[in-house]
């Protein structure tokens, strides 16, 4: 039975409508800020994301692959091709949870469709390891990856949610340090502004099943745990405020039922004004982290779009 129109878009698949309702049981942001509930919330959220891998209809393999003094995971699928791209993956989790293994479902479809192999970075989590720990881990791993692969190997960088934040701030850093940049970058529902200033923090908050952010206060509080005393508007923490010139082509994917929609829209405009090649995809009716649910027709469609962007 489909949900009522007033609660979810009837244009969505039945599978997406039912999932929208079920996601409201998952931990909210304040659970991760509270030291009493943090470990429980991490276990619940990581378990939910890991469970989504059972929906994948292709075989895959995850193998530990540390580089540059940072732990990581190499991901291969049955679609692997020797000439496929290298995919660097920075996982979601609000800077406080997630892992390359539990979140692998967000990048494995791209591996299978492009013939690529992915490397997921196990960056340090806040608040135990606040900024710049994760930022430094991402760069150390990427530098080691550049040393390991041929110079002509195509690199696609992917980051979702907080991983999208970490990826964008890292791209700016790598540009400034003169490193080779990835050939293309995909940002999935990135959270980019620690001040939670986007209009959709207010207008969409009652419709986002995963981020009940109380008008942005929960997001800004979580950023303060990550920022380690820096102002949350610092461009290294909130890359929406960074100089975005000279970045690789970007694809941004976000749902219309996400409080983070405004962050993606603002990034698209700022990156375009900085002279970058940007493609913004807004998925009608979709919600945060729907990319992990491979059984949704909408998810298969966005990965086809993502793989075409990565390859051409």
Catalytic site residue 101? no
Q: Which residue has the higher pLDDT, 2 or 262?
A: 262
Looking at residue 212, what is its pLDDT? Answer: 63
Q: What is the pLDDT of residues 96-105, one digit of tens each?
A: 999 999 999 9
Of the residues 225, 258, 264, 291, only one is catalytic, namely 258
SS3 content of the chain, % helix, strand, coil (to 5): 40, 15, 45
Q: Is the pLDDT of residue 182 over 80?
A: yes
In the prediction, which pLDDT does 275 show?
A: 98
pTM of the full structure: 0.94
Please name the fold of domain 14-311.
Answer: Rossmann fold (3.40.50)
Q: Which of 31, 161, 264, 268 is catalytic?
A: 161
Does residue 225 have an active-site annotation? no
> Does the active-site annotation cover 291?
no
* DSSP-derived secondary structure letter, 70: B
Q: Of these residues, 288, 291, 298, 307, which one is catalytic?
A: 288
Domain residue ranges of the chain, discontinuous segments joined by +:
14-311
What would the mean pLDDT of 20-38 be, rounded to a whole number?
79
pLDDT at 255 over 60: yes
């Amino acid at each position: 039975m489909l949900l009522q129109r007033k609660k979810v878009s009837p244009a969505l698949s039945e599978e997406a409508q039912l999932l929208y309702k079920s996601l409201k049981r998952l931990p909210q942001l304040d659970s991760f800020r509270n030291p009493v509930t943090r470990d429980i919330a991490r276990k619940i959220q990581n378990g939910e994301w890991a469970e989504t891998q059972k929906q994948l209809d292709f075989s895959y393999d995850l193998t530990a692959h540390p580089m540059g003094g940072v732990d990581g995971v190499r991901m291969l699928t049955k679609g692997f091709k020797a000439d496929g791209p290298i995919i660097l993956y920075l996982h979601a989790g609000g800077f406080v949870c997630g892992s390359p293994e539990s979140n692998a479902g967000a990048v494995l479809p791209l591996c299978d469709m492009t013939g690529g192999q992915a490397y997921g970075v196990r960056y340090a989590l806040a608040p135990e390891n606040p900024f710049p720990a994760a930022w430094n881990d991402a760069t150390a791993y990427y530098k080691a990856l550049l040393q390991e692969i041929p110079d002509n190997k195509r690199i696609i960088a992917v980051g979702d949610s907080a991983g999208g934040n970490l990826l964008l701030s890292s791209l700016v850093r790598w540009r400034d340090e003169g490193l080779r940049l990835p050939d293309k970058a995909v940002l999935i529902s990135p959270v980019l502004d620690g001040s939670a200033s986007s209009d959709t923090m207010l207008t969409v908050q009652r419709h986002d099943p995963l981020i009940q952010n109380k008008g942005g206060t929960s997001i800004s509080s979580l950023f303060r745990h990550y920022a380690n005393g820096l102002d949350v508007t610092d461009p290294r923490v909130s890359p929406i405020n960074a100089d975005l010139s000279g970045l690789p082509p970007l694809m941004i994917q976000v749902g219309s039922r996400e409080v983070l929609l405004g962050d993606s829209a603002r990034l698209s405009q700022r990156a375009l004004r900085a002279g970058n090649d940007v493609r913004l995809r807004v998925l009608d009716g979709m919600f945060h982290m729907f990319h992990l649910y491979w059984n949704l027709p909408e998810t298969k469609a966005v990965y086809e779009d993502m793989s075409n962007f990565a390859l051409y």
